[in-house]
Amino acid sequence: MTKQLSRRDQERQTRKQKLDAIARNVLRVIVGSHAHGTAGPTSDTDIRSVFMVPTAALVSLDPPPDTAKKESEGDDNAWELAHFMRLCCKGSPTVFEVLLVDPFECNEIGTGLRRLMPHTLARPVIFNAFYGYARREKGTFLSPLSGRIFKSMGHYLRILYNGAEILRTGTMTVRIVDTPIGQMCLDAKRGLLKAEDVLAKGEELIADLRRAEAESPLPELPNMEPLNEFLLDVRRKHFTWTD
């Protein structure tokens, strides 16, 4: 007997079908442990996509969702172009990975998007985003109910290191195993470190993150003008799909 979908599930399914019918990928990458260099035999393949829809759909009375979970060969989460750009301006460590790793799918719009990363960076935003992310990972690995203690230990160290990097240089090393903190991140993920060891190293990295913020050449706010110009140009050119 086929299970009948609830009204909410039916609406969600309908919206997804509409989105799938009009959305086009501009950028697709593999992130997570495979990008960090910490993948093991059982590691999932984490795919992240940036898609866009024609401008006409966005200004309709029933606009499509700006996020999606795609059905593909791995864990595939996707963001609509404008939503993704807003997340960049909020300093999200997760979205910066999407701009920095080598893509396996990327069109002209995706290439233009990758070039815009420097304009999205702002010193206080980066500090707060990376420090906040690290604190959440710390809370996870210190929780006795957590099912991802060791993974969160590795993420905690990685995010703190990357935060200082991006504050100083405007970019970060996604492949964390190639950095001085890389082996410790690997050991943490493999369960070879005690919480007190990770916490002690974390305090060193937090101190360095604070120094990096004080020394950072990054501006106080993102440079919105080129970001808006790029997005508006894309919207004008793709009011409807012409091919």
Q: Identify the CA nearest to 26 among candidates 54, 46, 4, 62.
A: 54
CB atoms within 10 A of CB 239: 13
- 102-147 pLDDT, tens per residue? 999 999 999 999 999 999 999 999 999 999 999 999 999 999 888 8
pLDDT at 68 over 90: no
Is it true that domain 9-116+223-237 has CATH number 3.30.70?
A: no
Domain boundaries, the chain: 9-116+223-237, 123-215
Both tokens of 43, joined, read 């590691």
* Beta carbons within 10 angstroms of residue 221's beta carbon: 12
pLDDT tens digits, residue range 45-62? 999 999 999 999 999 988
* Ranges 33-42, 84-93, 103-112: which has the least confidence: 33-42
Model confidence at 72: pLDDT above 90: no
Residue 241 and residue 224 in contact, taking contact as beta carbons nearer than 8 Å: no
